[in-house]
Chains A and B, each alone.
Chain A
């Protein structure tokens, strides 16, 4: 057992921490207020080779591991959760499908520019009528000679407005149920494929969340990701990895809540003393700190299992579920510790409070995580 980060992981942590504090954090309030996608920051993330962090160099990546990736997501989200989800979705949902299932040719053609950060990646699974029940996809594809013709729509897709390609699930053989779902690669600009108007969200307002429409979209059969009929299995595996990153994103927000609350509690005086001297406040801070440390251990363990090619599905679900719920609790308590000031836009905790809620919903709701865990327990 070794609880030390490797030299590279420690260096990466320092680097992203500094970058997040110096470049991202000063912009977070404005990104939230204007809802503008931080194109310039994303470009800088690309220059630091972070947009392809966990992929091999031959595919345009930096050859880092999942632990490093989780660290990067945490540190970025600590400074700005909008940027955090943008980053996490790019790697876990945008790049991973190509890395995990793409043919060599597809990896060269699509993963390389994604990992280099030439444009963003996105994964379209959710539909208006298929959310938690993602196998209930209604978007469908029909073969026509060497081409497939796709019709349907997707909803709430992160990054798709800035994506060079999106991967989407579609039913190719209804009679086969979940074994009749296939993933298709849809390049931007393909006729019939449109990106709809951005959703007006409660939080994560600087992230790009859009609907996608497919109206007789024709793609060649080379645009099937890996093997036909494997779409369902593929997205389950993509989501397993994605859960580590949503866990890490939650953790970053929770850490930001603790940092802000601890500082405020020390400074704010009531009844002639710092409110940090009141046991009621101390207990909140102690719980936050403990939860954060435990969540970090679980996230790093899940990431370590993945890096060591061991099963990590259950641990990733634990990590995502636990981290998102303790982060939501931390944000609630952070506002409480700030009192009326916490309810005001001048303090960042109201942003944390709005941003964090997504973590209990995206990439499988808390309820779905419990279903996944129970299933893996043999229920």
Chain B
């Protein structure tokens, strides 16, 4: 079984985001990590391989050079092979263009099943993997919390509003991971030592036959006009007095001041 995992490198969720002079997110001093949802996908891929006792896990990432450290992290966890599509210097892409790059890169990889995070914690659009499925013309099951494989098909459990939905689908297909699919392992020290020795394929956009313009600003359907930080939260208000009296005051404030009821 050849398992392909799509992985995005994102900011560490503990990072304090700031904007630089040009209004772009300042990357200086930021810690980059494997997107946590992609980490669930990597873990699931490793478990599938372990359950079957055979197989190969490939981790593919589209991003700047630094994304390599996150691919290595997945290799340290136990993945077999990395593929980096280096988009260093590319400006203005969106989910539409990213999906095109990913789909093109997948032509270089053999797969029976594709796993990905259901969303990235940075822009949270949850679009890339579904778009890739469309481009490849294969089925997709998103936001899954359980995956069982049988001969040529898969049974996936996905979260829906008031419960779960169980879906049977023919392989190959794309599945996107929700929290709960598989708690990621810590890479072992031996895994870390081996990560550097594992194969890593590198492609530029040109290698994939893509025009940097068409998968950047010119091709994007969505353009970011402006970024701004959320207004800092103001200190809370403590309402004093007897419980009954205080509750009354709180209701009043919720009505008159916060205007939420």
A101 on interface, CB distance cutoff 8 Å: no
Chain B residues whose C-beta falls within 8 Å of the C-beta of A289 in the assembled complex: none
CB of A7 within 8 A of CB of B196, answer yes
Extra inter-chain contacts (13) besides given A49-B188, A53-B189, CB under 8 Å: A7-B72, A8-B192, A11-B72, A11-B73, A15-B76, A15-B187, A18-B186, A19-B186, A47-B188, A49-B191, A57-B190, A62-B190, A64-B193
0/1 string, A39-66, CB within 8 A of B gives 1: 0000000011110010001000011100
17 residue pairs A–B, Cβ–Cβ below 8 Å: A8-B195, A11-B72, A11-B76, A11-B187, A11-B192, A11-B195, A12-B189, A15-B186, A15-B192, A18-B186, A19-B186, A47-B188, A50-B189, A62-B192, A62-B193, A63-B190, A64-B193
Report the Cα distance A99→B188, complex, angstroms: 22
CB of A48 within 8 A of CB of B193, answer no
0/1 string, A58-86, CB within 8 A of B gives 1: 00001110001000000000000000000
B248 on interface, CB distance cutoff 8 Å: no
Chain A residues whose C-beta falls within 8 Å of the C-beta of B192 in the assembled complex: 8, 11-12, 15, 62
What is the CB-to-nearest-CB distance from A265 to chain B, in angstroms, rounded to a whole number? 19
B125 on interface, CB distance cutoff 8 Å: no
Chain B residues whose C-beta falls within 8 Å of the C-beta of A15 in the assembled complex: 76, 186-187, 189, 192
Q: Among A8, A19, A47, point to the contact of B193 (Cβ < 8 A).
A: A8
Chain A residues whose C-beta falls within 8 Å of the C-beta of B189 in the assembled complex: 12, 15, 48-50, 53, 62, 64, 68
Most chain A Cβ neighbours within 10 Å, of B69, B188, B193: B193
Chain B residues whose C-beta falls within 8 Å of the C-beta of A68 in the assembled complex: 189
Q: What is the interface residue range for chain B against chain A?
A: 10 to 19
A residues contacting the other copy or chain, number (CB 8 A): 17
Nearest CB in chain B to that of A47: its residue: B188
Chain B residues whose C-beta falls within 8 Å of the C-beta of A62 in the assembled complex: 188-190, 192-193
Chain A residues whose C-beta falls within 8 Å of the C-beta of B193 in the assembled complex: 8, 62-64
Cβ-closest 5 pairs across A and B: A49-B189, A62-B189, A49-B190, A49-B188, A62-B190
Nearest CB in chain A to that of B192: its residue: A11
0/1 string, B65-85, CB within 8 A of A gives 1: 000010011001000000000
Chain A residues whose C-beta falls within 8 Å of the C-beta of B72 in the assembled complex: 7, 11
Nearest CB in chain B to that of A19: its residue: B186
Report the Cα distance A68→B195, complex, angstroms: 15
What is the CB-to-nearest-CB distance from B75 to chain A, in angstroms, rounded to a whole number? 10
Nearest CB in chain B to that of A69: its residue: B189
Please provide the chain B residues from 19 to 72 with a CB less than 8 Å away from any CB of chain A in the complex: 69, 72
Chain B residues whose C-beta falls within 8 Å of the C-beta of A49 in the assembled complex: 188-191
CB of B196 within 8 A of CB of A8, answer yes
Report the Cα distance A113→B187, complex, angstroms: 21
Report the Cα distance A48→B69, complex, angstroms: 20
Chain B residues whose C-beta falls within 8 Å of the C-beta of A64 in the assembled complex: 189, 193
Chain A residues whose C-beta falls within 8 Å of the C-beta of B73 in the assembled complex: 11
What is the CB-to-nearest-CB distance from B141 to chain A, in angstroms, rounded to a whole number? 30
Report the Cα distance A64→B190, complex, angstroms: 8
Please provide the chain B residues from 161 to 181 with a CB less than 8 Å away from any CB of chain A in the complex: none
Chain B residues whose C-beta falls within 8 Å of the C-beta of A19 in the assembled complex: 186
Chain B residues whose C-beta falls within 8 Å of the C-beta of A50 in the assembled complex: 189
0/1 string, A121-149, CB within 8 A of B gives 1: 00000000000000000000000000000
Nearest CB in chain A to that of B33: its residue: A14
Report the Cα distance A12→B190, complex, angstroms: 10
0/1 string, B123-157, CB within 8 A of A gives 1: 00000000000000000000000000000000000
Chain B residues whose C-beta falls within 8 Å of the C-beta of A11 in the assembled complex: 72-73, 76, 187, 192, 195
Report the Cα distance A137→B204, complex, angstroms: 67
